[in-house]
Amino acid sequence: MDLRETEQQHDYRMKARAWLEVNAPRNWELVVENYTELAKVLTDWECSMAAAGYVGISVSKEYGGQGLTFMEEIIFNEEMGRAGAPRGINNIGRNLLVPTLLAVASEEQKKRYVPKVMSAEEIWCQGYSEPNAGSDLASLATKAVRDGDEWVINGQKVWTSFATEAQMCFVLARTDTSAPKHRGITYFLVPMDTPGITVRPLKQLNTKSDFCEVFFENVRIPANSHVGEINEGWKVANTTLTFERGSGALGRTAIYMKAFHDLLALTTDLEVPATGSKVIEDSHYRQRLAKSYIEFAILRYHGLNIASQIVNNQKIGPEASMQKLYYSEAHKRFGELAMDIEAHRANYWFDSGLANGKFQLSYLESRGDTIHSGTSQVQKNIIAERVLGMPR
Amino acid sequence: MYFGYSDDERILGDAISELFRRHAPISEVRKVIDTPVVSAELHNAIGEQGLLGVLAHNGSVYENVLMANAVLEQAGRALLPFPLIEGIIAAYFLSKDEAKASLYEQTVAGDQLVTIAWHAHGATRLEKTDGNWFANGSFYAAPFAASADKIMAFFQGPEPETKTLVILDRNDPAVSVIAEKCMDLSMPLDRVEVVNLTVTDDDILIGMGKGEELWQEAMQLGALFTAAELSGLSDEALKNTVEYTKIRKQFGQEIGKFQALKHMAAEMFVLAESTRVAVIYAAWALEAGTEPEAVSIAKAYASDAANEITGQAIQMHGGIGYTWESDLHLYFKRARRSSSAFGDAYAHREKLLDAITRSSKGG
């Protein structure tokens, strides 16, 4: 076991911390209702991270990255969380597209697309989910048909974050309707200004409208727009997940730990309606606060465990599913705790609420965490069948 | 950067697993239920491997905490009917006291069985009368005290300078060991009564008045090691349960095919795996001399998780899980006992929150 930071890593952390203190957007929670303004804040933020060399930290210089290691990537993620900084607008491009391209794309594709993510010139969105393909993603119906030198795409995607802002979309589309459902899908790169694409923002329960619907009507893209082999898109999509899970958990822990301390700060003043004592002196809430802290601390250990597997080139198994299930359920409990602690104040948010309504946002968004990227129930099936080997 | 057991630690864990499988299979555990004594064969095997000497120190720095952890995880899996945590902590303390070198050697070699009485009942006192020290006190929660040669006990008063760890000789007429009826029969916890026992320097560990500090250390080590046992125990209960769902058939199919059971098993896996990383992290933190609250995190989580996992293991087995013949109740009962030992989840959460609020006030 070796978890001590090297001197260089520590220096990197301190430099990142100082940079974030000056540059991270503040009070951005207050603009989430205003889609245009939120998109602008996140786009500016993406550009300033890119300009300062905090995008593609572990991506090689050849493709416009910083050429550092996965450790620096983790450190910056942690510091972002600690600073309360939002994820930039190109989170999808950085964390899902780039690792996929680096793993399976042609050299030409890597050279063409990766540098523009690094420089924040091209924002990406993800065309995976469909109205009738959520948990059962592999049953997706968006079709791509070959016509001469082109593919013609027809269908509809949903939950496509910031599709209005994106220049590019990676799309899973069915290319062989006769094959078993996992074997007839191809992974395509599609410019969003291609004729036939319509985007409609979709308002979510947290008041944000970043999830969009994207309609494809006879959208024609060049024949070489696919990544990996034709009909191998399911495999391509799955190569992506490891990286996100590795760096994600530690960044997420830092976000949650900051939220925990922000909540703790409220507990010295707020009273428990039932007893009239301060929240921090109330045994029931002390226990629940400690439980949340413990869950977040253990999330960090899970993150270190997976990071260690990545750094030491060990194989990451489907156990990684566990981490998604773990953090999303822990986040949900934390949101509920915060609302219980705020009691009658819980109903007020944004500038009418405590802490700019950030706990309301956390509470509401946690309901999405247990749904996106595979619901908790899907994760449990994966764990039971692929980790524990229970029969299908 | 590396998270997890080293190769050496893993190899030791595997070897110990094999050792316990040979000398303490579940049939041996069941023998202890009928006759609550330490098996001489098991004690010898542990002595031959020098297992009780696993935890070491270099000045004030712990060594081999992760090694000890790897051993205790296996003890948890085996529901080991042996005072292993007590033996390791006792040997560790003895190793810090030069005057106890011979008892240390005998303990590690398996020639002497040493246990610890963990709880005091009422006042425990060390007092001087006519130039001699006399100890009086009533203790409980002393695992396998009836089989032990020596019992370590903490006398808390009456003065701060008499707070002392005393090594009791079980055969001394002033020391009596009384069996209690325990729910967890595989780890009998005896009562120890000490009446006007004459205490000499030879009986005192490290020094008169040093007891408080040692006791705090014993509690911290005990909490970590118990969490390690709970980690192994939980994982074993889960594994056995999952295997059962693959063979047991109802409604014409293996019950493991039912999503209701899959989801229960997946939730248990999350608890078991989270316990595992929490325990290993806490062991590392103790060895690295950092984040002392990591032990509370591990013990609080492991305690709740083990009760939940072993309880659900019974549920997933259905009727057979409720029988005496099934081993599940042994896991379930051991989990309950261990979860309440060395600070239960409630106590460790309180301790943790106290540490967090103090450190956030301090900056």
Task: Work out the minimum CA distance from B332 to partner chain A, whole angstroms.
Answer: 21
CB B165 within 8 A of CB B92: no
Same domain for A294 and A342, yes or no, is yes
Nearest-by-Cβ selection for A325 from B261, B270, B294 = B270
Residues of A in contact with B270 (CB under 8 A): 322, 325-326, 383
Boundary of a domain, candidates A209, A231, A253: A231
Residues of A in contact with B352 (CB under 8 A): 290, 293-294
Report the alpha-carbon distance of residue A73 to residue A150 in Å, rounded. Answer: 38
Q: Residue A314 has what pLDDT? A: 77
Same domain for A62 and A156, yes or no, is no
Q: Residue B271 has what pLDDT? A: 98
Which candidate, A382, A372, A363, places its Cα nearest to that of A322?
Answer: A382
Kindly state whether residue A1 falls inside one of the protein's structural domains.
Answer: no
The token duo for A332 is 């949900």
Same domain for A145 and A107, yes or no, is no
Name the residue type at position B358. R
CB A292 within 8 A of CB B353: no
Q: Report the CATH number at residue A38.
A: 1.10.540.10
Kindly state whether residue A2 falls inside one of the protein's structural domains.
Answer: no
Task: Work out the minimum CA distance from A157 to partner chain B, whole angstroms.
Answer: 29
Q: Report the CATH number at residue A226.
A: 2.40.110.10
- The count of structural domains within chain A is 3
Asked whether the beta carbons of residue B263 and residue A377 sit closer than 8 angstroms, the reply is yes
Q: Residue B250 has what pLDDT? A: 97
Name the residue type at position A131. P
Regions in chain B scoring below 50 on pLDDT: 363
Q: Is A380 on the interface with B (CB under 8 A)?
A: yes
Q: Is B278 on the interface with A (CB under 8 A)?
A: yes
Size of chain A in residues: 392
Q: Is B262 on the interface with A (CB under 8 A)?
A: yes
User: Which of A13, A261, A298, A316 to probe by mutation at the B interface, max B CB count within 10 Å?
Assistant: A298
Strand runs labelled E in B90-163: 114-116, 119-120, 125-129, 132-143, 150-155
Residues of A in contact with B254 (CB under 8 A): 391
Same domain for A85 and A192, yes or no, is no
Percent of chain B residues topping a pLDDT of 70: 99
Structure pTM? 0.95
The CATH number assigned to the domain with range B212-361 reads 1.20.140.10
The CATH number assigned to the domain with range B7-111 reads 1.10.540.10
Task: Work out the minimum CA distance from B248 to partner chain A, whole angstroms.
Answer: 12
Could you tell me the residue range of the domain that residue A137 belongs to?
A: 124-231
**Dihedral (CA of A26, A29, A30, A33) sign:** positive
CB B295 within 8 A of CB B224: yes
Kindly state whether residue A342 falls inside one of the protein's structural domains.
Answer: yes
Which candidate, A204, A187, A149, places its Cα nearest to that of A361?
Answer: A204
Q: How many interchain CB pairs under 8 A, A with B?
A: 133
Residues of B in contact with A71 (CB under 8 A): 1
Q: Is A223 on the interface with B (CB under 8 A)?
A: no
- As averages over each run of 10 residues, the pLDDT of chain A (392 residues) reads 93 98 90 89 96 96 95 92 93 92 95 97 96 92 97 96 95 96 96 97 90 96 97 88 64 93 96 96 98 97 89 76 92 98 94 92 94 91 95 95
Kindly state whether residue A75 falls inside one of the protein's structural domains.
Answer: yes
H/E run at residue B266: helix B259-288
Kindly state whether residue A392 falls inside one of the protein's structural domains.
Answer: no
Same domain for A107 and A200, yes or no, is no
Same domain for A32 and A103, yes or no, is yes
Boundary of a domain, candidates A101, A118, A135: A118
* Per-position DSSP letters for B286-311, written without gaps between them: HHHT--THHHHHHHHHHHHHHHHHHH
Same domain for A138 and A277, yes or no, is no
Q: Active-site positions of A?
A: 244
Q: Residue B14 has what pLDDT? A: 96
Same domain for A359 and A291, yes or no, is yes
Domain extent listing, chain B: 7-111, 116-209, 212-361
Same domain for A91 and A167, yes or no, is no
Domain B116-209 has CATH 2.40.110.10: yes
Residues of B in contact with A326 (CB under 8 A): 270, 274
Q: Report the CATH number at residue A296.
A: 1.20.140.10
Same domain for A218 and A257, yes or no, is no
Q: Residue A251 has what pLDDT? A: 86
Task: Work out the minimum CA distance from A219 to partner chain B, whole angstroms.
Answer: 40
